[in-house]
Each structure stands twice: as structure tokens, then as C-alpha cells.
Amino acid sequence: MSNVPAGLETLDFSFSGGRPAGAFQPVLVGVVGSGNLEVMLEAAAGAACVVRVETSARGFGPIWQAVMTDFHTRHPLAGVRVSINDMGATPAVVSLRLDQAVAGITGVAP
């Protein structure tokens, strides 16, 4: 029997040193479902990119950290709140959805 407790896991990340995204309407991509996830980007006060992940796949914090660090390296945004609701998506799907969300922000190239 696994020693990982059942239920959703919440992971929070924060990245600084990005370029301000400016004002934009919230962007939502993806659908929460088996093996998928949804990503929402919202404009936020401050100079950080903050990320909250709610995932059904518990115990993968280091992998999420790596995926989110890669995201911030590729898209160094500031003043952005990222909300992710995950149902077991692979890192490649997470990166794809994040790129799609960034593409939806007016004036920010993916």
C-alpha cells in the first residue's frame, strides 16, 4: 500500500525577475479530465509570477518544480497568476497548455 495520502495535492511556486505582462483578460485553456488539465492565467499585482497547482497525482512536487522552472525560463512573466487544475497530465501536456495560455495573452509572444 502506498504511503501517499489520497486526495488533491496543492503546490505553490513563485518566480521573480520577469517582464511585466501588463493588463489582460483572463485566459483559460484545456479541460480537466482523465489525463489532462486546465490552465488559467490572470493579471496580478506585484512583480512575480505565482503558480498554484491542484493535482490528483500526489507526490510529484519535484517534477512540477522542474516543469514550472522551465516555463518561467521560456516565458519570464511578471504580474501573472497561474492556476492549474490537473488530473494526471504528463509534463509535455502541461508545457503545451502553458504555452497555449501564454499565446492567449495580448502582446506576449509564446
For 74, list phi and psi in degrees, rounded to 5.
-80, -35
Residue 108 has pLDDT above 60, yes or no: no
Euclidean distance between CA atoms 71 and 99, whole angstroms: 8
pLDDT value for 1 = 45
Burial 16-33 (b: 16+ CB within 10 A, else e): eebeebeebeebebbeee
- Could you read off the pLDDT of 55-67 as tens digits, one per residue? 998 999 999 999 9
The pTM of the full predicted model, rounded to 2 decimals, is 0.88
Q: Where are the alpha helices (DSSP H) in 1-110?
A: 61-74, 91-103
Residue for grid cell 514550472 = 68
